[in-house]
Amino acid sequence: MTDTAILSIQSIVDLLNRRKPYALTRLQSEYPSYRSALEPGKKLGDDSRPSSQMLQDLAQQTIAVAKEEGLATSQRIQRRFRMSARLRLAGAVVSSLSSAGIIAALTQGSTRAALVSGCIAFGSSCFTLVAQYVEDYAGGQQSFKDLRERVAIHTTCIWEVEAEFKLMVALNEFGGIEELVRKLNVAVAAIRQAQLAVS
Amino acid sequence: MCHGRFSTLSYIIFCLLFFISESHASWWGAFLNSGEEAAKFAKKASVVAGRAVLKTLPKSRQGAHALEISGSEIRAIDIAGREIVIATMSTGAAMTLTPQGAALLKQVELIVSEIDVNRLEHIVRDAIKASGKPAFVVSENGTVGRLVVRATPTGETLLMEKYPGIFIRAGERSAELSWALERPFQNDKIRVVSLMDPSDADELARLDKVVGEYHIPVGSHTPSEAVHQIRSQREKTVFVVGHVEKDKFIVRDSAGQIKSEISFSELEDAAEKADASLFLLGCSAAACSTTSAFIDPVNALRVADGLKDAISRATLGDALSALSTAGDIVVSSKVVHSARVMLFAEQKALLVDKRIESSYRVLKLTTVGRERAEELADRIVPYIPSWVQYPYFVGAFFLIFSARGIVREWKSFRTPAPAFARKPIISTLVKGIRILGFAVLMPLAVCLNLAIIFGAWVVGTVPLFMTLGWTTLVPAYFGWKWSRHFAEEANGEPWTVRYLGIPLFVGIIGILVAILMSPIELFRGIEYADLQARLIYWVASGSTSMLISAFALRFLTRRKSNWNPADIPGLVIAGALLLIEFCVSRVLHKGETADD
């Protein structure tokens, strides 16, 4: 297997297309020779290697949007977590109440009331199971906990990229721009993956 | 009479003897072949006819020249009809360019007849490369396509546009390819195998949305698992979507590192073993593969959109034309073999259907009695009134004969369920609604269907024949004419459905005539009237029936009308299926995300 890594900027371009299409259009007009690389959607073949100047502009346009995207995704996962926890709590509460209802109905000798309480207890335990499933697997066999951790890691990574980029600008030394864009692309791709998993 | 028979017999024997003799057979063969050749030449003359083709081009293209083979010379004809000999052919079909021809080919656009493309391949290919100008091909049916030169595994090849966006390699048997492209395209037989990393989330999500459960993501699998997946797609149309580098699909993660790679040849071998039609949907895959593939660079999102259009098309050719909105496709002759295998499998399935049907016909004679059915129904579904249960079980019984056909038809138009791995809840809901909907609605629909057919025959004929008498034959005749008008569409249906027009005409027009006649004093108590009154009644009712029937028939069989009586029973089944699909679409709609 040939292990030659290429520089992919696809996720960054897709993010710009979703959130700042005017910025992408401007980049396309500024760099007409890289128009194909700046088109949203994966190219199913070889592409031209982007220039350092184009990568600088791309990084500058994207970092802030990527940070916002990471935070928004993180919040969305948190919301899902809370909803799932509430669902589980509600299920458990109803289940305990109806179990108490069964006991009370049986002591009073009312079979029908016991049956109704039993049905409610069964339903609420199903709710708890659904909440468990949603928390552990929903969104393509990825648990919420994993997603939350992954998004947190990659959001931090974007902060690091921002700091590195600011340092490059301050020193006017862009030797490591390719590596920086690569890191940014990985982070943006991971956040988008998480975003689609919880949508 | 006897003499006539003998003379006919002797004539037939003479003809047979004439063909039996080997020399005569070869003579007839040569005669028939020459007829075919003559027809070809005639067609070619009508298609190329120099100026005629050129005149159809827009003004900007009128500097183009049409190439024509005339004896041992190849001539270029311009719009004014001037002819220039550009090459001569020797006996070994080797061509020598004239100095005028060599100069001309570097300057002008070319138009060639489809029949001549193979013979003029080298000249056209060199001309396109030298001039950098486009060339066109005029097909046998008069449509104009492009001729392009692209790199293929066998070197630079001339590709001919057969349908919009669909190219074939010059030299391949285009008649067989045309047959394969016109084969029906069943959307439940397609599989889209994506070789992409999970970090290509947008592309994978789009493919999931477009083809649902028919999308098989194998980007995170090992190459051998991916090949095994292709191998398991027996007699399917498999589209492989992925990033192409040289002659391989390469899966790269978002950092650009290679995760896995699969060569085209591995995929081609697996598809061949599975008798599957393979389409390689990656950038310029046609350059390194002899399989059907894209010619130029493509974008994954556009490919997904193309697939969305493609799966709703009726034929393979139409589907590929829809897919070619993402980029031009070259179709390989390998699809012919797969199409043949699929046709064989379909015919075999039909044979099995017929066998099942005949075996159930035997079972039908020994079916359980009504009391037993009632008892069973009470045991299985308590609390449901018997007037629902009877039709349900009757319908369920008759459904045995038609279930396969209904399901096959249903599969051809239903929206694919989303992949379980992506949307487990929605996938389960969709499948659950379909299974439950079919189990609940279809037996009732089949029963209603039977009630319409047999009800129409019994109610629409017997009582009216008894009350109206012989005049009922008039609408019956027009009803027969109505059914005959749609005989071709109803071919294969049982006669009770094929001739459903008869009872419908008799029933509706008979009742209408009886209502029209009833206010007339003379015809009251006609059963007990004398012969003269009855004769007047027959003439009056017969004429009225004829008048109304003729108008009704004219209306029902007018041009572009689609009032086929044999379609009426099918509407009930289609209605039930559409109701199920409506419920499914509600669930699918809810499953769509804001990003979509």
Closest residue to B202, CB basis, from A3, A45, A192: A192
pLDDT at position B176: 74
Q: What is the mean pLDDT of residues B89-111?
A: 77
Nearest-CA distance B120 → chain A (Å): 33
- Inform me whether the pLDDT recorded for B364 exceeds 50: no
Residues 150-189 of A with CB under 8 A from B: 182, 185-186, 188-189
- Inform me whether the pLDDT recorded for B504 exceeds 60: yes
Residue B96, domain member (yes or no): yes
Tell me phi and psi for residue B138, to 5 degrees.
-105, 120
Reported as half-sphere exposure (CB side, CA atoms, 13 A), residue A1 has a value of 14
> What pairs with residue A125 in β-bridges?
none
pLDDT at position B484: 82
Write the CB contacts of B188 (distance below 8 Å, at least 6 apart in sequence): B214, B411, B412, B416
Residues in chain B closer than 8 A to A4 (CB atoms):
258
- Inform me whether the pLDDT recorded for B20 exceeds 50: no
Same domain, B261 and B393: no
- Inform me whether the pLDDT recorded for B39 exceeds 60: no
Closest residue to B284, CB basis, from A6, A41, A45: A45
Same domain, B379 and B265: no
Inter-chain CB pairs, A–B, below 8 Å: 106
- Look at A8 and B424 and tell me if their CB atoms are within 8 Å: no
- Give the C-alpha separation, A124 to A105, whole Å: 18
B256 φψ region: left (φ > 0), alpha (ψ -120 to 50), beta (else): left
For residues A32 and B270, the answer to whether their CB atoms sit within 8 Å is no
Name the pLDDT band for B367 (thresholds 50, 70, 90).
Answer: very low
pLDDT at position B362: 44
Residue B362, domain member (yes or no): yes
- Look at B256 and A2 and tell me if their CB atoms are within 8 Å: no
Name the pLDDT band for B180 (thresholds 50, 70, 90).
Answer: confident
Residue B33, domain member (yes or no): no
Reported as half-sphere exposure (CB side, CA atoms, 13 A), residue B344 has a value of 8
Q: What share of chain B is helix, strand, coil (3-state, %, to 5)?
A: 60, 15, 25
pLDDT at position B32: 41
- Look at A192 and B201 and tell me if their CB atoms are within 8 Å: yes
- The structure tokens listed for A51 are 């220039």
DSSP structural state of residue B184: B
Same domain, B182 and B299: yes
* DSSP H or E run through B449: helix B424-468
Q: What is the mean pLDDT of residues B378-392?
A: 65
Lowest mean pLDDT among B16-30, B135-149, B324-338, B562-576: B16-30
Question: Which of B146, B161, B138 lies closest to B77 in space, CA to CA?
Answer: B138
Same domain, B494 and B375: no
- Give the C-alpha separation, B297 to B285, whole Å: 9
Same domain, B227 and B304: yes
Residue of B nearest to A43 (CA): B299
pLDDT at position B24: 45
Instruction: Give me the number of domains chain B comprises.
Output: 4
Per-residue pLDDT tens digits for B484-496: 887 777 777 778 8
pLDDT at position B19: 44
What is the pTM assigned to this prediction? 0.64
Q: What share of chain A is helix, strand, coil (3-state, %, to 5)?
A: 80, 0, 20
> What pairs with residue B87 in β-bridges?
B74, B97
Q: What is the mean pLDDT of residues B283-297?
A: 83
In order, the DSSP letters of B225-277 are HHHHHHHT-TT-EEEEEE-EETTEEEEE-TTS-EEEEEEHHHHHHHHHHTT-E
Q: What is the mean pLDDT of residues B454-482?
A: 76
- Give the C-alpha separation, B70 to B73, whole Å: 5
Which of A42, A62, A136, A192 to substitute to test the interface with B, most B CBs within 10 Å? A42
Domain containing B483 equals: 457-571
Residue B148, domain member (yes or no): no
Q: Where are the alpha helices (DSSP H) in B521-566?
A: 531-556
- Per-domain residue ranges of chain A: 26-35+50-198
- Give the C-alpha separation, B158 to B127, whole Å: 11
Same domain, B336 and B207: yes
Nearest-CA distance A41 → chain B (Å): 5
Residue B171, domain member (yes or no): no
pLDDT at position A179: 92
Residue B152, domain member (yes or no): no
For residues A45 and B297, the answer to whether their CB atoms sit within 8 Å is yes
Question: Which of B335, B231, B227, B207 lies closest to B278 in space, CA to CA?
Answer: B335
Residues in chain A closer than 8 A to B202 (CB atoms):
14, 41-42, 192, 196
DSSP structural state of residue B418: P
- Give the C-alpha separation, B147 to B128, whole Å: 9
Q: What is the mean pLDDT of residues B522-542?
A: 73
Q: What is the mean pLDDT of residues B200-216?
A: 88
Pairing of strands B277-281, B292-294: parallel
Same domain, B96 and B244: no
Partner B contacted by A87 (CB < 8 A): no
Which long-range contacts does B456-462 make (Cβ < 8 Å, 24+ apart)?
A: B456/B500, B456/B503, B456/B504, B456/B507, B457/B496, B457/B500, B457/B503, B459/B503, B459/B507, B460/B502, B460/B503, B460/B504, B460/B506, B460/B507, B460/B508, B460/B510, B461/B502, B461/B503, B461/B506, B461/B507
Closest residue to A45, CB basis, from B199, B282, B424: B282
- Give the C-alpha separation, B555 to A163, whole Å: 79
- Inform me whether the pLDDT recorded for B129 exceeds 70: yes
B221 vs A199, higher pLDDT: B221
- Inform me whether the pLDDT recorded for B534 exceeds 80: no
Lowest mean pLDDT among B299-308, B364-373, B451-460: B364-373
- The structure tokens listed for A121 are 């207890």
- Look at A44 and B422 and tell me if their CB atoms are within 8 Å: no
Query: For residue A163, with 0-12 CB atoms within 10 Å meaning exposed, 13-18 middle and 19 or more buried, which class applies?
Result: exposed
Reported as half-sphere exposure (CB side, CA atoms, 13 A), residue B439 has a value of 6
- Any idea which residue has 């034309």 for tokens? B321
* DSSP H or E run through B145: strand B144-152
Write the CB contacts of A1 (distance below 8 Å, at least 6 apart in sequence): B258, B260, B261
- Look at B255 and A196 and tell me if their CB atoms are within 8 Å: no
pLDDT at position A15: 93
pLDDT at position B465: 66
Residue B251, domain member (yes or no): yes
Rg (CA), chain B: 33
Per-residue pLDDT tens digits for B332-346: 877 776 666 666 666
Residues 22-51 of A with CB under 8 A from B: 36, 39-46
Write the CB contacts of B366 (distance below 8 Å, at least 6 apart in sequence): none
pLDDT at position A68: 92
- Look at A14 and B202 and tell me if their CB atoms are within 8 Å: yes
Same domain, B438 and B539: no
- Give the C-alpha separation, A102 to A1, whole Å: 65
pLDDT along chain A (199 residues), means of 10: 71 92 91 86 78 90 92 89 82 86 85 85 81 66 77 93 92 90 93 86
Query: For residue B511, with 0-12 CB atoms within 10 Å meaning exposed, 13-18 middle and 19 or more buried, which class applies?
Result: middle
Same domain, B243 and B328: yes
Same domain, B191 and B306: yes
Q: What is the mean pLDDT of residues B294-301?
A: 87
- Look at B256 and A8 and tell me if their CB atoms are within 8 Å: yes
